C-alpha cells in the first residue's frame, strides 16, 4: 500500500512539473482494495481494471519503472507509451488493461471468462470497476450473461462513493448496489474497502468460489478517494469535513496501527520499508527519465498486425 | 450454383470443423437458425457450446467476443443488422480497434463480426440503413463487403484467419442470390478490389449490393455503345486505392455507387482519393450515385426512389461521357 | 533552494491565476502542505508544495495570472533566513521576453519553408493569381513585398497560358504533353467542357496568345495602386524640336530605310541621359525606402493590339550608338507585341516613357507604374507659333510632361530634369 501511495505522490509531483500529462487519476485512499484483491488472486487469473489502475498494476507485478515510464509516454513504458496512465497493460501478468470507458471493460471480462471456460481452464477473471459503472447497461448485461452462461467472472465494485463528481445517492436509485446482482442470480456481498485484511479475505473466498463453481460472484468494496477525480479539481461536490472524516480511516495508517499494536512490526521496520519504497520510486523515476521516446516514424505501429499503408 | 447464404454456411462449417477455437454467437443464430437463415442446422451439428444464442445485449456480446478473442479464441459474432450494431459501437471503437495499439502491441483481437446491411425489403428506417462507412473510417479494424457468392465464403475464411478485428457487411438483398461457387478454390486476397466487368469509357465503382446494380447498368450502357468498367471494392478498409486510380486511368471517368447517404460516404472517400491521386486522369467530373438524404421509408415507391437505381447509374455514366 | 511553480492542474490548463497565498515569507512548509489557492476555469483549487523548507520569496502577487511553470515562490532550506523580498514582486518575467525587430514571421514552423510574406501580401498575390513560390523577395530578410507581387503580376502578363478554358484535367494534361492549343476547341464533355476526345485534330500550340483578361487585371491593380498610393506631381515643358528634327533628316539621308532613326529614339536617349543626372528620378519605391536604380533603364509604354499595355525596359538606354538604340527599341516593341519579353525587361525600369504623339494629342498626363518613381509623357510634335529673338516663328514643338512621386522628389528637381532633357534634345549630335 505504501508503494502505491508513494508512487502516486511522486506522480502528482511530476504532473505538476508537466513530466506527466493528460489525465492522472490517483488511487490515494483506496489502496486497500487493490492490494487486498490482488493478493487474493493467482498469477494465472485474469485482471481487467479501470483508468484508476496504477495500484492494481503495481501490486499485480508490473514494475514501478515501467508504470512511471508509461505515464511519461516513453517507449520503455508497459504499453510502449501508447496508453499512458489510463491504459496500463501486461500480457505477462495477464493484466488486460486499464479501461477508460466506464463499464466498457465488463464485456471484455465476460469474454475472457468465456474463452477460459470453453478451453477448460480454471482461471478466474477479476473485473474491477467503480460505482459509476453500475449505472451502465453493460453492467446489467454482463451480470445477466455471466449468470446465464455460468462464466467465472469475479465482479469487484470499488465503490468510492462518487461517479466522478456525482455522489452515489445522486446516481443510484437503490442505495445499495449489493441488491442488484441477486436479481440475476449472482451472489453478492459488501466488504469494508478500507481494511486490507478484510478485503483480502473476502476476495480470496469469492475467487475460490468462482473457481470451484465456474459461476460469477460480485463484491462491493466500500472505499474513498482522498484526492480529486483526476489530479486536481475544485471539489465542489463534496465537503472538506467529509474528506477529513474518511482520512481517519486511511488504510495504511489502520494497518500500521494494528501491526504495531500486535507487535508484528516495529517503528524501525516501518522506517526500513519507507526507505526501500523511496528507493524503488526513485529508481522508477530514473527509469522513466532515461527511457527513449519512440520514433515518430513508428507512429503507425500496433494499429494492425501488419502495416496496411 | 449456390446461394450466398449457403456459401457463408459452408465457410462457417469448415471453420468450426477445422479449428476448435472457432465458435459462433449472436441473437438467434442457434435454434432459430439465424435471422437470415445463414446458420440453419449448425446448432444440431456443433452443439450449444459452439453455436451460442445470446441475450439481446449487442454491446456485451460483441464485447464478450472481443474478450474471448483476447483470451485465445476465434469468435465469429453475428449482429443481426448494422442498425443494431450501433448498440455495440462503443465496444468496436473503444476496445476492438484500439486494444493492440493501446497495449503497445501486447494484445490482439482476432474477432470476426458479421452483420446484414442495406435496404430494399421495405423494413423501414430502423432496419435498412447502410452504415458500413462508419466502420470503414476506424483505424484498427478491417471491413469487408462481399458482393459475390464466392466472396461471401472466402471473405469469412479470411476474416477468421486474420489477426485483426474484421467486420463483414452482408447486403440483405444478396442472401438469396445464386452464383458460381467452388468451396475449394484458391483464396484470392480479400483486401484487393476486383474488376467485375472490363470497360474503357467509364468506371462504375461500387461494393456489396450496389455491385449488381452497376453490372446491370454496364449491360445497358453497352447497348448504347458505352463501355463501362465495374469495380467491386470488396475491402472497404483498407481501401484498394491503387486499383481505383488504375481503373480511372484506363477510363478517365468515374461514377461511384454507394447505398449509404452521400454525405461522408465511402463514395466521398473514393471520390477524394481520385481527386488526390488521379486528378490528371479525369476527363469529366466524378459523379456519386448514393441514397437520398432521408431515413429509408417503408412505402415501396418511396424506398425505391431513395436508393441508387440502375437508371440513375446509367444516366450519370452517360452524362459523364458527354452523351447525356 | 527550490522553486514552487504554477502547477499544471489539468490536461487543458495553460495558465492560472494565483488567488490567495496561504503562507508568507519566512513560513516553514513541509511536503504536501497547501500553500496557495489557484483560480482556474474549473474553480478554485488548493495547491500543495512538493518540497519542504522555508518560504524565502513570493514571486507572484495575488490576482496575477501566469503560465503553467512560472515560478511562484522560492523555498529555501530551513535556516537560511532572508530579509529581502518580503513583498510579492509584481509582473513576472514573461513580458520582457525578447521582442523581435518587428519582422513578420508566420505561424508555425511549417511556414518557414515557404516564402515569407505578410497576410496582406498573400491576399494580394491571391487576387492577382501570382504564386508566391519561386518569387524572390526584395523586402527585409528576403520577405516578399506587395511590390514584388504586383511586378510579378505585370511580368506574368507576358507568360503563356493563363487560360480559363473549361477543360478536364486529363485533357489539359494531354494538351500540354502534345503541345496542343485548345483555346478554340469546342467541348463536348459535361457542360461543354473540353474532354480528351475533343483534342483530336486541334491545332498545335502557336505562339502564346495574349491573355487579355489577366493583363487587364494586372494593369488595373497597378494603376489603382498608383492612383491610391503615389502622391503625383506634374511639371510640363514645351521643347522646340527644330534642331533635332533637322539633324534627324540629315542623318537619315545617309541611312537605309530600315536603319532610319525616329524622333522617339531621341526622346528615349535624352530621357536616359537626363536620368543619369537626376538620381532622385532613377529609383524605385519599395515599401518604405527608395532603392536606387543600377543603370539607366527606361520603360517604354507599348500599347498592344486588342487593348493591352506593357512597359518593358530598355536597359542601359544611355549606352551605345543611336543606331544601336534604334535597333533595340524596334526589337523590344515587336517582342512586346508578340509577348516574348524577358523577365529582366519587366522589372528593371525606374522611369517610363510614354508617347502619344502618333495619336496626335498635344500632351499627356501619365500615371506612374509602381514601384517606379517617375514617368515622362510626350505629346505629338506639332507646328506651333514660337518666339525666337522676339519674332514669332513656326516651330515644331513637343509638350513633355513629367509625372513624379512626391515622396521621392519634388517639383524643383522635376523641373531641372525637364530642362536637362530639353538641353539634350537641342544637341542631337551629342546624343
Nearest to A107 among B67, B99, B107 (CB): B67
Nearest to B280 among C170, C188, C189 (CB): C170
> Which pLDDT value is given to residue A107?
98
Torsion of CA B239, B118, B55, A94, to 10 degrees: 0
Among residues C67, C96, C125, the one where a domain terminates is C96
Q: What is the mean pLDDT of residues C116-142?
A: 72
Among residues C43, C70, C96, the one where a domain terminates is C96
**Is residue C239 classed as helix, strand or coil in its secondary structure?**
strand
pLDDT digit string (tens) for B203-227? 999 999 999 999 999 999 999 999 9
Closest residue in A to B91 (Cα–Cα): A104
Q: What is the mean pLDDT of residues A110-138?
A: 97
Task: Report the C-alpha gap between A52 and A155 in whole angstroms.
Answer: 16
Note whether B282 contacts C193, CB cutoff 8 Å.
Answer: no
Note whether B107 contacts A148, CB cutoff 8 Å.
Answer: no
| DSSP secondary structure letter of residue A190 | E
Closest residue in C to B279 (Cα–Cα): C169
Q: Which chain A positions have a beta carbon within 8 Å of C68's beta carbon?
A: 18
| DSSP secondary structure letter of residue C187 | P
Q: Is the peptide bond before B238 cis (omega within 30 degrees of 0)?
A: yes
Which of C2, C13, C46, C50 should one mutate to test binding to chain A, selecting the residue with the greatest count of A CBs within 10 A?
Answer: C50
- List the catalytic residue out of B58, B170, B229, B303: B58
Architecture of domain A2-292: 3-Layer(aba) Sandwich (3.40)
Instruction: Assess if residue C270 is contained within a domain.
Output: yes
Task: Report the C-alpha gap between B54 and C89 in whole angstroms.
Answer: 69
Task: Report the C-alpha gap between B323 and C248 in whole angstroms.
Answer: 68
Task: Report the C-alpha gap between A192 and A207 in whole angstroms.
Answer: 17
pLDDT digit string (tens) for A248-281? 999 999 999 999 999 999 999 999 999 999 999 9
State whether ipTM is beyond 0.90. yes
Q: What angle do CA B111, B113, B116 make, to 5 degrees?
A: 175
Nearest to A233 among C5, C42, C50 (CB): C42
Task: Report the C-alpha gap between A113 and B67 in whole angstroms.
Answer: 8
Q: Which domains does chain B have, with CATH numbers?
A: 2-179 (3.40.50.970), 194-321 (3.40.50.920)
Instruction: Assess if residue C319 is contained within a domain.
Output: yes
Strand pairing class (C65-67; C289-292):
unpaired
Strand pairing class (B51-53; B22-26):
parallel
pLDDT at C89 over 70: no
Instruction: Assess if residue C114 is contained within a domain.
Output: no
Nearest to A80 among B64, B69, B104 (CB): B104
> Which pLDDT value is given to residue C212?
63
Task: Answer for the pair C287, C120: CB distance below 8 angstroms, yes or no.
Answer: no
For A238-252, what is the HEC assignment?
CCHHHHHHHHCCCHH
B223 or C127, higher pLDDT: B223
Query: How far is it between the farthest Cα atoms of chain A?
Result: 64
Task: Answer for the pair C78, C56: CB distance below 8 angstroms, yes or no.
Answer: no
Task: Report the C-alpha gap between B28 and B36 in whole angstroms.
Answer: 10
Q: What is the mean pLDDT of residues A99-104?
A: 96
Task: Report the C-alpha gap between C396 and C377 in whole angstroms.
Answer: 17
Task: Answer for the pair B322, B271: CB distance below 8 angstroms, yes or no.
Answer: no
Domain enclosing residue C40, as ranges: 2-96
Note whether B322 contacts C190, CB cutoff 8 Å.
Answer: yes
Cα-flanking dihedrals φ and ψ of residue C22, to 5°? -105, 5
| Residue C55's CATH number | 2.40.50.100
Compute the count of residue pairs across chains A and C with CB atoms less than 8 Å apart: 40
Count of domains in chain C?
Answer: 2
For chain B, what is the HEC assignment?
CEEHHHHHHHHHHHHHHHCCCEEEEECCCCCCCCCCCCCCCHHHHHCCCCEEECCCCHHHHHHHHHHHHHCCCEEEEEEEECCHHHHHHHHHHHHHCCHHHHCCCCCCCCCEEEEEECCCCCCCCCCCCCCHHHHHCCCCCEEECCCCHHHHHHHHHHHHHCCCCEEEEEECCCCCCEECCCCCCCCCCCCCCEEEECCCCEEEEECCHHHHHHHHHHHHHHHCCCCEEEEECCEEECCCHHHHHHHHHHHCCEEEEEEEECCCCHHHHHHHHHHHHCHHHCCCCCEEEEECCCCCCCCHHHHHHHCCCHHHHHHHHHHHHCCC
Torsion of CA B158, B164, B169, B170, to 10 degrees: 30
Active site residue B129: no
Supply the mean pLDDT for chain A: 95
| Whether A50 contacts chain B with CB within 8 A | no
Same domain, C253 and C401: yes
Q: What is the mean pLDDT of residues A52-81?
A: 97
pLDDT at C221 over 80: no
Instruction: Assess if residue C185 is contained within a domain.
Output: no
Edge-to-edge strands, sheet with A95-99: A95-99, A46-50, A125-130, A153-159, A217-222, A187-192
Instruction: Assess if residue C20 is contained within a domain.
Output: yes
Q: Residue holding cell 523511496?
A: A278
Task: Report the C-alpha gap between C18 and A188 in whole angstroms.
Answer: 48
C-alpha cell at C312: 518593358
What are the domain boundaries of chain A?
2-292
- Please state at what angle helix A64-72 crosses helix A2-16, rounded to 10 degrees: 20
Task: Answer for the pair A192, A25: CB distance below 8 angstroms, yes or no.
Answer: no
pLDDT digit string (tens) for B226-242? 999 999 999 999 999 99
Residue C285 pairs in a beta bridge with: C290
| DSSP secondary structure letter of residue C290 | E
Q: What is the mean pLDDT of residues C240-255?
A: 90
Q: What is the mean pLDDT of residues C260-285?
A: 90
Q: What is the CA radius of gyration of chain B?
A: 19
| Residue C258's CATH number | 3.30.559.10
Task: Report the C-alpha gap between B41 and A212 in whole angstroms.
Answer: 34
Which of A161-165, B143-147, C175-179 shows the lowest per-residue confidence on average (mean pLDDT)? Answer: C175-179
Task: Report the C-alpha gap between B99 and B93 in whole angstroms.
Answer: 10
Cα-flanking dihedrals φ and ψ of residue B223, to 5°? -60, -25
Among residues C33, C64, C96, the one where a domain terminates is C96
| Whether C177 contacts chain B with CB within 8 A | no
pLDDT at B249 over 70: yes
B188 Cβ contact list (under 8 Å, min separation 6) = B154, B194
Instruction: Assess if residue C102 is contained within a domain.
Output: no
Instruction: Assess if residue C328 is contained within a domain.
Output: yes
Highest mean pLDDT among B51-65, C235-249, C351-365, C407-421: B51-65
Which of B178-182, C11-15, C232-236 shows the lowest per-residue confidence on average (mean pLDDT)? Answer: C11-15
Task: Answer for the pair A223, A29: CB distance below 8 angstroms, yes or no.
Answer: yes
Instruction: Assess if residue C226 is contained within a domain.
Output: no
> Which pLDDT value is given to residue B138?
97
- List the catalytic residue out of B27, B78, B127, B212: B127
Nearest partner of C341 among C326, C358, C328, judged by Cα = C328
Amino acid at each position: 500500500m505504501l508503494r502505491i501511495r508513494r508512487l502516486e505522490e511522486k506522480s502528482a509531483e511530476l504532473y505538476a512539473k508537466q513530466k506527466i500529462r493528460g489525465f492522472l487519476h490517483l488511487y490515494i485512499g483506496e489502496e486497500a482494495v487493490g492490494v487486498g484483491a490482488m493478493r487474493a488472486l493467482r498469477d494465472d487469473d485474469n485482471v481487467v481494471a479501470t483508468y484508476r489502475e496504477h495500484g492494481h498494476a503495481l501490486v499485480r507485478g508490473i514494475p514501478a519503472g515501467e508504470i512511471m515510464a508509461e505515464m511519461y509516454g516513453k517507449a520503455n513504458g508497459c504499453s510502449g507509451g501508447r496508453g499512458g496512465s489510463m491504459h496500463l497493460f501486461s500480457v505477462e501478468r495477464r493484466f488486460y488493461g486499464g479501461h477508460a470507458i466506464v463499464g466498457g471493460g465488463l464485456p471484455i471480462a465476460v469474454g475472457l471468462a468465456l474463452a477460459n471456460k470453453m478451453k477448460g481452464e480454471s482461471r478466474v477473471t477479476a473485473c474491477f470497476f467503480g460505482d459509476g459503472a453500475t449505472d451502465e447497461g453493460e453492467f446489467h448485461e454482463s451480470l445477466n450473461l455471466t449468470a446465464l452462461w455460468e462464466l467465472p467472472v469475479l465482479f469487484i465494485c470499488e465503490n468510492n462513493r462518487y461517479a466522478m463528481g456525482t455522489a452515489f445517492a445522486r446516481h443510484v436509485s437503490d442505495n445499495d448496489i449489493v441488491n442488484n446482482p441477486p436479481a440475476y442470480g449472482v451472489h453478492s456481498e459488501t466488504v469494508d474497502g478500507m481494511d486490507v485484511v478484510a478485503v483480502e479475505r473476502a476476495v480470496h473466498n469469492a475467487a475460490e468460489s468462482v473457481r470451484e463453481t465456474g459461476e460469477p460472484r460480485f463484491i462491493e468494496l466500500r472505499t474513498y478517494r482522498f484526492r480529486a477525480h483526476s489530479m486536481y479539481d475544485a471539489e465542489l461536490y463534496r465537503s472538506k469535513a467529509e474528506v477529513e472524516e474518511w482520512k481517519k480511516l486511511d488504510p495504511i495508517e489502520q494497518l500500521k496501527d494494528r501491526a504495531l499494536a500486535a507487535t508484528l512490526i516495529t517503528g524501525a521496520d516501518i522506517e526500513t520499508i519507507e526507505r526501500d519504497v523511496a528507493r524503488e520510486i526513485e529508481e522508477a523515476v530514473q527509469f522513466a527519465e532515461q527511457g527513449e521516446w519512440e520514433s515518430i516514424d513508428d507512429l503507425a505501429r500496433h494499429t494492425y498486425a501488419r502495416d496496411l499503408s | 450454383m449456390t446461394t450466398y447464404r449457403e456459401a457463408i454456411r459452408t465457410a462457417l462449417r469448415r471453420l468450426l470443423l477445422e479449428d476448435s477455437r472457432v465458435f459462433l454467437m449472436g441473437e438467434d443464430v442457434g435454434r432459430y437458425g439465424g435471422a437470415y437463415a445463414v446458420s440453419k442446422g449448425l446448432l444440431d451439428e456443433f452443439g450449444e457450446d459452439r453455436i451460442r444464442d445470446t441475450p439481446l445485449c449487442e454491446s456485451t456480446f460483441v464485447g464478450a467476443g472481443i474478450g474471448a478473442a483476447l483470451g485465445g479464441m476465434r469468435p465469429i459474432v453475428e449482429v443481426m443488422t448494422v442498425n443494431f450494431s450501433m448498440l455495440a459501437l462503443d465496444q468496436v471503437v473503444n476496445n476492438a480497434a484500439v486494444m493492440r495499439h493501446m497495449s503497445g502491441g501486447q494484445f490482439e483481437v482476432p474477432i470476426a463480426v458479421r452483420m446484414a446491411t442495406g435496404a430494399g425489403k421495405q423494413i423501414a428506417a430502423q432496419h435498412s440503413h447502410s452504415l458500413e462507412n462508419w466502420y470503414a473510417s476506424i483505424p484498427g479494424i478491417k471491413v469487408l463487403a462481399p458482393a459475390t457468392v464466392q466472396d461471401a465464403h472466402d471473405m469469412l475464411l479470411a476474416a477468421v484467419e486474420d489477426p485483426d478485428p474484421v467486420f463483414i457487411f452482408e447486403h440483405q438483398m444478396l442472401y438469396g442470390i445464386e452464383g458460381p461457387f467452388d468451396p475449394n478454390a484458391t483464396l484470392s486476397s480479400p483486401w484487393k478490389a476486383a474488376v467485375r466487368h472490363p470497360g474503357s469509357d467509364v468506371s462504375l465503382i461500387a461494393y456489396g449490393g450496389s455491385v449488381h446494380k452497376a453490372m446491370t447498368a454496364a449491360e445497358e450502357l453497352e447497348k448504347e455503345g458505352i463501355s463501362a468498367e465495374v469495380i467491386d471494392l470488396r475491402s472497404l478498409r483498407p481501401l484498394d486505392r491503387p486499383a481505383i486510380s488504375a481503373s480511372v486511368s484506363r477510363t478517365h471517368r468515374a461514377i461511384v455507387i454507394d447505398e449509404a447517404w452521400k454525405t461522408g460516404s465511402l463514395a466521398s472517400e473514393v471520390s477524394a482519393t481520385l481527386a488526390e491521386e488521379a486528378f490528371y486522369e479525369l476527363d469529366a467530373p466524378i459523379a456519386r450515385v448514393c441514397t437520398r438524404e432521408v431515413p429509408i421509408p417503408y412505402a415501396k415507391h418511396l424506398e425505391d426512389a431513395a436508393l441508387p437505381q440502375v437508371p440513375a447509374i446509367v444516366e450519370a455514366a452517360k452524362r459523364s461521357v458527354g452523351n447525356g | 533552494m527550490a522553486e514552487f511553480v504554477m502547477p499544471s492542474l489539468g490536461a487543458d490548463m495553460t495558465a492560472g491565476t494565483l488567488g490567495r497565498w496561504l503562507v508568507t515569507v519566512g513560513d516553514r512548509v513541509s511536503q504536501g502542505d497547501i500553500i496557495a489557492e489557484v483560480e482556474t476555469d474549473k474553480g478554485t483549487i488548493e495547491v500543495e508544495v512538493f518540497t519542504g523548507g522555508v518560504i524565502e520569496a513570493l514571486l507572484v502577487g495575488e490576482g496575477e495570472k501566469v503560465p503553467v511553470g512560472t515560478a511562484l515562490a522560492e523555498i529555501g532550506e530551513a535556516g537560511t533566513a532572508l530579509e529581502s523580498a518580503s513583498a510579492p514582486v509584481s509582473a513576472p518575467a514573461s513580458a520582457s521576453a525578447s521582442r523581435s525587430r518587428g519582422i513578420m514571421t508566420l505561424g508555425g514552423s511549417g511556414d518557414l519553408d515557404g516564402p515569407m510574406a505578410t497576410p496582406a501580401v498573400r491576399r494580394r498575390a491571391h487576387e492577382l493569381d501570382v504564386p508566391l513560390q519561386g518569387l524572390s523577395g526584395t523586402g527585409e530578410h528576403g520577405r516578399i513585398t506587395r511590390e514584388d507581387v504586383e511586378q510579378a503580376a505585370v511580368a506574368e502578363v507576358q507568360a503563356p497560358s493563363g487560360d480559363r478554358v473549361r477543360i478536364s484535367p486529363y485533357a489539359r494534361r494531354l494538351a500540354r504533353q502534345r503541345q496542343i492549343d485548345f483555346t478554340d476547341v469546342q467541348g463536348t464533355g459535361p457542360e461543354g467542357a473540353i474532354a480528351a476526345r475533343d483534342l483530336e485534330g486541334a491545332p498545335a500550340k502557336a505562339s502564346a496568345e495574349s491573355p487579355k483578361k489577366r493583363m487587364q487585371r494586372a494593369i488595373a491593380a497597378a494603376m489603382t495602386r498608383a492612383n491610391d498610393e503615389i502622391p503625383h506631381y506634374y511639371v510640363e515643358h514645351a521643347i522646340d524640336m527644330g534642331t533635332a528634327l533637322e539633324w534627324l533628316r540629315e542623318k537619315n539621308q545617309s541611312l537605309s530605310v530600315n536603319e532610319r532613326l525616329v524622333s522617339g529614339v531621341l526622346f528615349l536617349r535624352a530621357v536616359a541621359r537626363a536620368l543619369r543626372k537626376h538620381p532622385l528620378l532613377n529609383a524605385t519605391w519599395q515599401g518604405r525606402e527608395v532603392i536606387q536604380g543600377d543603370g539607366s533603364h527606361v520603360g517604354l509604354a507599348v500599347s498592344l493590339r486588342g487593348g493591352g499595355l506593357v512597359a518593358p525596359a530598355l536597359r542601359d538606354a544611355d549606352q551605345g550608338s543611336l543606331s544601336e538604340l534604334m535597333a533595340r527599341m524596334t526589337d523590344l516593341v515587336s517582342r512586346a507585341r508578340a509577348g516574348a519579353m524577358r523577365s529582366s525587361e519587366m522589372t528593371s525600369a525606374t522611369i517610363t516613357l510614354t508617347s502619344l504623339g502618333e495619336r496626335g494629342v498635344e500632351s499627356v498626363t501619365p500615371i506612374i507604374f509602381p514601384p517606379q518613381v517617375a514617368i515622362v509623357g510626350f505629346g505629338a510634335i506639332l507646328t506651333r507659333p514660337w518666339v525666337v529673338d522676339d519674332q514669332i516663328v513656326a516651330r515644331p514643338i513637343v509638350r513633355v510632361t513629367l509625372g513624379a512621386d512626391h515622396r521621392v522628389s519634388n517639383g524643383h528637381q522635376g523641373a531641372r530634369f525637364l530642362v536637362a532633357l530639353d538641353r539634350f534634345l537641342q544637341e542631337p549630335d551629342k546624343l
